[in-house]
Structure 1
Amino acid sequence: MPRLFVLFCLTVCSSLALAAPQVRVVGLFPGAAVLNIDGQRKLLKIGQTGPAGVQLVSADAHKAVLRVDGAEQTYELEREYSGDGYAAPAARTEMGIARGTGGHYWVAGTINNQNAQFLVDTGATSVAMNEGQARRLGIDFRTVGTPMMASTASGTAKGWRVSLNSVKLGGVEVLGVEAIVLEGDFPTEILLGMSYLNRVGWREDQGMMYIQAKH
């Protein structure tokens, strides 16, 4: 009987050990971190809980403190790993956008994995959209956003400052992008502003804009 009990304990303990989440920090920002939890990438802000109950306690540009299985641990930035071991750094990704009507750059991409059409606007400080576009993208800006007043071409408008989990053009993805949601129908197109462009490499050359991921 004791022997069976020991075997049972070993089996249960082994199962619990296998169930412990595999956690890596693959992106760090002041007050936020991008985690890889059992192969799933998730952007968390301080106090938020992600897959497997992993909670972000604190974060800065150098390290993050996570609560995993009830215990707080400090993590530094790592490269991501694959099931076959260490993942080689990804090749630099670049995409080109042809200048369109009126000298503007129009490009399709995604926001939070939802399809979006952008107008590149280097004069806009942030990604900007109207409230209808935000609702279509599933952004609950009135609940999670910070109320603000914004200056537009039409005057002053009520808005909400939000953080987008992901903005992606082709293979160039940026996590944790600041955006402004404006009340009403302005802007008519989602503006791709500097809150995204400042975190990628970009240049204009002979009627083309090239956007490149930073590594």
Structure 2
Amino acid sequence: MKDGDQAANFLWLLAAIVLVGSSLFSRRLPFGSVLKMLLSWVLIFGAAFIIFTMKDDFADLGRRLLTDVRGDATPVAGAGQEIRIRQALDGHFWVDGTLNGQKVRFLVDSGATTTSISTETAKRAGVSARGGLPALVQTANGIVTVQRGRAESLVVGDIRRENLAVHMSDAFGDMNVLGMNFLSSLSGWGVEGRWLILKP
């Protein structure tokens, strides 16, 4: 925040404290009671002042904490052409990729047979459902109805796959899952400590 804004906020705080103090003294309360109430208001206004003036810092801290919980989803280049993905504090592996050129965050799930995306992600990436009846698939949250489609391209780091089969459903909410049909196309993959290693 700029110095001018901080000065204006400080003057506003000072004026508010003076106004409250004047109101308390005008009520002719015992000095001890006035002092306690005045200190309480100073603390309240002080806390509000700190929160307001540092709101950008608090927002940045919140974003960093969220990143720590969900993990840095940016794939890291490892030895050779392998991709390394750090495990998040929630125990999962999240990775940022692109689907038909659109940035998408995926949960890497070896328990999912097919890569699955939300309906909103499908619309944003231009993935259309193919003809045929919907399918029923078993997920961690039970059996859901999905539409089948194909992504023209799915890219994670330097790994690119084309014409990849995907499932789409409203039941996925905002979750997108990188499934075994992507992982099995690699020359190798596995977990080493807190890192998921993908080998093209």
Superposed counterparts of 1:94-173, under 5 Å: 94-141=82-129, 147-173=134-160
- Contact 2:128-2:149 within 8 A present in 1 as well: no
Give the structure 1 partner of residue 174 of structure 2: 188
Superposed counterparts of 1:13-162, under 5 Å: 93-141=81-129, 147-162=134-149
- Contact 1:132-1:185 within 8 A present in 2 as well: no
1:203 to 190, 193, 196: 190
- Return the letter of the residue paired with 2:124: R
State the 1:154 CA deviation: 3.3
Report the Cα distance in structure 2 between the residues aligned to 1:131 and 1:145, rounded to whole angstroms: 17
Would the alpha carbon gap of residues 137 and 96 (structure 1) be closer, same or farther in structure 2, given more than 3 Å must change? same
Would the alpha carbon gap of residues 107 and 145 (structure 1) be closer, same or farther in structure 2, given more than 3 Å must change? farther
Report the Cα distance in structure 2 between the residues aligned to 1:124 and 1:174, rounded to whole angstroms: 17
State the 1:147 CA deviation: 2.2
- Contact 1:163-1:178 within 8 A present in 2 as well: yes
State the 1:140 CA deviation: 2.0
RMSD: 2.0
Report the Cα distance in structure 1 between the residues aligned to 2:118 and 2:136, rounded to whole angstroms: 14
**Structure number with bigger Rg:** 2
- Return the letter of the residue paired with 1:211: L
What per-residue deviation string (whole Å, max 9, x for no partner) do you get for residues 7-56 of structure 1? xxxxxxxxxxxxxxxxxxxxxxxxxxxxxxxxxxxxxxxxxxxxxxxxxx
Indicate the structure with greater helix content: 2
What per-residue deviation string (whole Å, max 9, x for no partner) do you get for residues 82-131 of structure 1? xxxxxxxxx95211100002210011011112111111001000101121
- Contact 2:112-2:139 within 8 A present in 1 as well: no
Report the Cα distance in structure 2 between the residues aligned to 1:204 and 1:171, rounded to whole angstroms: 19
Indicate the structure with greater strand content: 1
Unaligned runs of 5+ in 2: 1-78
1:175 to 162, 167, 191: 162
Compute the TM-score of the two structures, normalised by the length of structure 2. 0.55
Report the count of equivalent residues.
121
Q: Which has the higher contact order (CA 8 A, sep 6+)?
A: 2
